[in-house]
A = this chain, B = another copy of it.
Amino acid sequence: MLHLTLRQLQVFESVARHLSFSRAAEELHLSQPAVSMQIKQLEEGVGLPLFEQLGKKIFLTEAGREVFRYGSNIGQQLAEAETVLAEMKGLQRGKLVISVVTTANYFAPQLLALFCQRNQNITLSLNVVNREVLIHQLTNNEMDLGIMGLPPEGLGIDAEPFMENPLVVIASPNHPLALEQNIPLSRLAQETFIVREMGSGTRSAMERFFAQHGLALSTGMEMSTDEAIKQAVKAGMGLGVVSMLTVALELETKRLVVLDVDSFPIRRHWFVVHRSGKRLSVVAQAFKEFLVNEAAQLVVA
């Protein structure tokens, strides 16, 4: 094994550049013998003379030229590493791995795009998965931050709310209840609901809500995306409970209406989550703060 130190290479580089021990010593603010010793040790480590002295001039040997070449490469690698790491300390560079729950797909991309726009040179990876998978990723440390509506408890997860997430009842504009006001909650017991699959955060929240109010929920089809629920509701196959954010377009274009049911909307929040105890990178920390401080205004607008 080649035994040498970076210090030796550094001193060697200076000597090779000046072709003078004394000049190198000056440059490095060392005594001349200190330089001689470093070179001597390097030569011992390498096992070959690196300089030859003829008269009062010194020259690089062939071996010296090789060491110079490799030493330069190494120096370059170090310099490059230094700048990259320096950039990572600031916000100039970094990688951010984010997973969001299916529903968040309606607004998360906007936020990420905006954040990346502000901080160039940040590489981003976005995964859209369902709640269960996200929890799995979270416990396995496969991501930096997650966005979800219903953080699991007791799994050592830090969750911070950053935006409202009202759940509303949607119906086709042709639905009998479409124009009514102050619909009593109990009235919904007669209706059929198109719901998300088990394990979905929206589904859980919805079930809990109805249970709390002593209502039996009659579920029709199960859909694995909010998009599918919207289509089914549009087609008049029943009512739906979805996040307000997912139906902005449909409301505007009158494809769907929000029913004015008592106790609705269900008040929930979006949370940014990460495994507790995880040391967030500079970038991750910045993104989290970005969400907490600005996301609410940005998405509304």
Interface, chain A (partner B; CB < 8 A): 1-2, 4-6, 46-49, 52-54, 57, 59, 61-63, 66-67, 70, 73-74, 77-82, 84-85, 88-89, 94-95, 141, 275, 277-279, 281, 283
10 tightest Cβ-Cβ pairs between the two chains A and B: A70-B81, A2-B82, A52-B279, A73-B77, A62-B95, A54-B141, A74-B77, A70-B77, A74-B74, A59-B141
Given A52-B279, A63-B88, 8 extra CB contacts under 8 A: A2-B81, A2-B85, A6-B6, A48-B88, A61-B279, A62-B95, A63-B281, A74-B74
Evaluate contact between A77 and B78: CB separation under 8 angstroms.
no
Copies of this protein chain in the complex: 2
Question: Which of chain B's residues have a CB closer than 8 A to the CB of A278?
Answer: 52, 54
Evaluate contact between B48 and A89: CB separation under 8 angstroms.
yes
Contact partner, A281, options B62, B88, B275, B277, Cβ 8 Å: B62
Most chain B CB atoms below 10 A, which of A47, A79, A279? A279
Question: Which of chain B's residues have a CB closer than 8 A to the CB of A70?
Answer: 77-78, 80-81, 84
Question: Which of chain B's residues have a CB closer than 8 A to the CB of A141?
Answer: 52, 54, 57, 59
The distance from the CB of A61 to the nearest CB of chain B, in whole angstroms, is 6
Given contacts A78-B70, A95-B62, contact A46 B279 (CB under 8 A): no
In the complex, the chain B residue whose C-beta lies closest to that of A78 is B2
26 contacts between A and B (CB under 8 A): A1-B82, A2-B79, A4-B6, A5-B5, A5-B6, A6-B6, A47-B85, A47-B89, A48-B85, A48-B88, A52-B141, A52-B278, A52-B279, A53-B277, A54-B277, A62-B88, A62-B94, A62-B95, A63-B85, A63-B281, A66-B84, A67-B81, A67-B85, A73-B77, A74-B74, A74-B77
